Structure 1
């Protein structure tokens, strides 16, 4: 399956970000009525204490918006960032402009949260 990177800090300066392949690290999610929901278990000691203190539930969820849900659904461990951007452009048209700036910002956010990882895809130079 290749080596996945936890962050893009290991990215080579010559690499093209659009050639990287995002992969879902967070596996607890489901699709409901076209929206993606990510689920999180709060089972660490500090989280258990906080749950007891403020009556927080054991499992919480995050609902992604329409665009975020589409991006999440398109992350399959095979498509590059470029290919995902092309698919989003076909789905959303001009609503998704400027497409790559928004997509890259969102993917960086998902990566920083630890929800996705990246694999170095074939680079344009022929690597």
Structure 2
């Protein structure tokens, strides 16, 4: 019988993708630049006029989390930093985990110990 594996996100350490470039404006807002590579992306760029590079502007929370990812701090430590910076935020841990999962699904981060695809 298979047992369900439970993920303990508090122990996971996010690591930024070294190929992703980003910059921060004067207000501390991060803009992540994603270059679209590969055969299908080239077709979309040529025939459907898709951009080669997309700029994704993060909000205040996302920018804070992105800048706090240092390849050493785990999710629990990041959530403490987030609570210190934004003390009135509701459901901060679940929002943080969801945001990190979105970053991971889009290949902007991985969990320490994983391999890049």
Q: Is the 8 A contact 2:79 2:96 kept in 1?
A: yes
Q: For this pair of structures, how many residues does the alignment match?
A: 108
2-structure distance, mates of 1:23, 1:36: 17
> Among residues 8, 20, 23, which one is paired with 1:16 in the alignment?
8
Residue 67 of structure 2: aligned partner: 73
> What TM-score, normalized to structure 1?
0.75
Displacement of 1:71 after TM fit? Answer: 0.7
Higher relative contact order (CA 8 A, sep 6+): 1
Q: Bigger shift: 109-118 or 46-55?
A: 46-55
RMSD between aligned residues: 2.0
Structure 1 segments, 4+ long, off by >4 Å, are none
Displacement of 1:15 after TM fit? Answer: 6.1
Q: Deviations over 1:63-91 (max 9, x none)?
A: 11110111111111011101111111111
Residue 86 of structure 2: aligned partner: 92
